[in-house]
């Protein structure tokens, strides 16, 4: 399957390109970027790929290039426009999270994909983090009993903002700030485990000097089954809390640190190499209650599983790894969180509105 990667910034260069290259049944055939330095890096790393300066040119060449998939790894503000172009060029599409800057725009995009009979999927790759897979295994296996509270954190120490970076832009269509960025992952994981929330509360703060978007955010979800999810995303956490703390009627699970795949990708390691996605033993979590505690091995993570599943979806009609509807549900929660900051987030039987 010949794939076009649109965008060669952090998401395109560090995540999508190596994962596409390392997935059987996929060939990275084209990269779209107009930045001269990024073009040089893409050419050096992926000499088999055609370098194209604009998406408009890509769509005109899609048939000649024999493309079977487009991956959108551009800034959030252009996700919808680029993905619509890909669909109208007859291509299934993967969009980096979040799908769109609003649930309304996400639904518009999903409706167009349905009208054209094409697959639209969203790269919520953190479903394949090893620590998250471990949490899911422990919950489904009954090791923790009935889960009462789920705590999840993406906390960093980056006290100086990056002026001009698109993630720092405050416009409604920019999709900037941590609620959209890291919050998308946190919410998606919570909803995958416990279903949609019946109520949403959020606290969004700007801590860094000159910040125009949230950089220290807390989200509380009450799920319909009674579980409460407490989610933190911060760029100013000088002492990060545990990655996960899950408290149940029988035991709790605590694990710190981050899944190693992002670090490995940034270091240029090849996905699928020896030890890929494996967490060192000294970073494994523990299960216990009271004074008792037992170390639990962290499952191996593998972001390539997203693209493997996608190939099966396109070729053989297997389930889409992350359907657009699930990404839209995350956007619904994000919008409810924003409204809660402004004074309340009503919900109905369909989820937050």
Identify the helix (H) or strand (E) that includes residue 295: strand 292-296
Average pLDDT over residues 82-86: 98
Query: What digits encode the pLDDT tens for the residues 218-256?
Result: 999 999 989 999 999 999 999 999 999 999 999 999 999
Chain-wide mean pLDDT for the chain?
Answer: 94
Average pLDDT over residues 201-212: 93
Strands (DSSP E) contained in 106-215 are 120-123, 147-155, 197-205
Query: What digits encode the pLDDT tens for the residues 20-56?
Result: 999 999 999 999 999 999 999 999 999 999 999 999 9
* CA–CA separation, 169 and 296 (whole Å): 41
Does residue 175 register a pLDDT over 90? no
Residue 121, helix vs strand vs coil: strand
| CATH fold group of domain 2-123+306-320 | Rossmann fold (3.40.50)
Residue range(s) of every CATH 3.40.50.720 domain in the chain? 2-123+306-320
In which band, very low, low, confident or very high, does the pLDDT at 164 lie, cut at 50, 70 and 90? Answer: confident
Superfamily covering domain 126-301: Dihydrodipicolinate Reductase; domain 2 (3.30.360.10)
Query: What digits encode the pLDDT tens for the residues 94-136?
Result: 999 999 999 999 999 999 999 999 999 999 999 999 999 999 9
Average pLDDT over residues 252-276: 96
Average pLDDT over residues 304-323: 97
The half-sphere exposure of 67 on its side-chain side, counting CA atoms within 13 A, is: 28
Residue with tokens 């657009």: 324
């Amino acid at each position: 399957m010949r794939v076009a990667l649109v965008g060669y910034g952090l998401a395109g260069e560090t995540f999508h390109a190596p994962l596409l290259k390392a997935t059987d049944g996929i060939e990275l055939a084209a990269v779209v970027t107009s930045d001269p330095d990024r073009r040089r890096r893409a050419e050096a790393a992926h000499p088999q790929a055609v370098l194209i300066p604009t998406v408009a040119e890509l769509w005109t060449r899609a048939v000649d290039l024999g493309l079977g998939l487009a991956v959108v790894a551009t800034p959030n503000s252009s996700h919808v426009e680029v993905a619509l172009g890909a669909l109208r060029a007859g291509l299934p599409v993967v969009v980096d999270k979040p799908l769109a800057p609003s649930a309304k725009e996400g639904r518009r995009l999903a409706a167009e994909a349905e009208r054209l009979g094409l697959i639209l999927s969203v790269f919520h790759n953190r479903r394949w983090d090893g620590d998250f897979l471990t949490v899911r295994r422990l919950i489904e296996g009954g090791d923790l009993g009935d889960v009462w509270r789920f705590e999840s954190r993406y906390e960093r120490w980056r006290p100086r903002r990056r002026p001009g970076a698109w993630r720092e832009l405050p416009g409604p269509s920019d999709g900037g700030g941590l609620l959209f960025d890291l919050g998308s992952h946190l919410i998606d994981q919570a909803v995958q485990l416990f279903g949609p929330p019946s109520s949403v509360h959020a606290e969004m703060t700007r801590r860094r000097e000159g910040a125009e978007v949230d950089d220290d955010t807390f989200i509380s979800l009450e799920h319909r089954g009674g579980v409460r999810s407490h989610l933190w995303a911060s760029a100013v956490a000088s002492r990060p809390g545990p990655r996960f703390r899950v408290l149940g009627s029988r035991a709790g699970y605590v694990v710190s640190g981050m899944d190693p795949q992002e670090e490995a990708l940034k270091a240029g390691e090849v996905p699928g190499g020896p030890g890929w996605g494996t967490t060192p033993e000294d970073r494994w979590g523990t299960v216990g209650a009271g004074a008792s505690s037992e170390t639990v091995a962290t499952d191996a993570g593998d972001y390539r599983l997203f693209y493997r599943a996608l190939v099966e979806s396109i070729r053989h009609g297997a389930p889409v790894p992350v359907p657009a509807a699930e990404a839209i549900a995350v956007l619904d929660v994000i919008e409810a969180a924003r409204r809660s900051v402004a004074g309340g987030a009503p919900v109905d039987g369909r989820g937050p509105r």
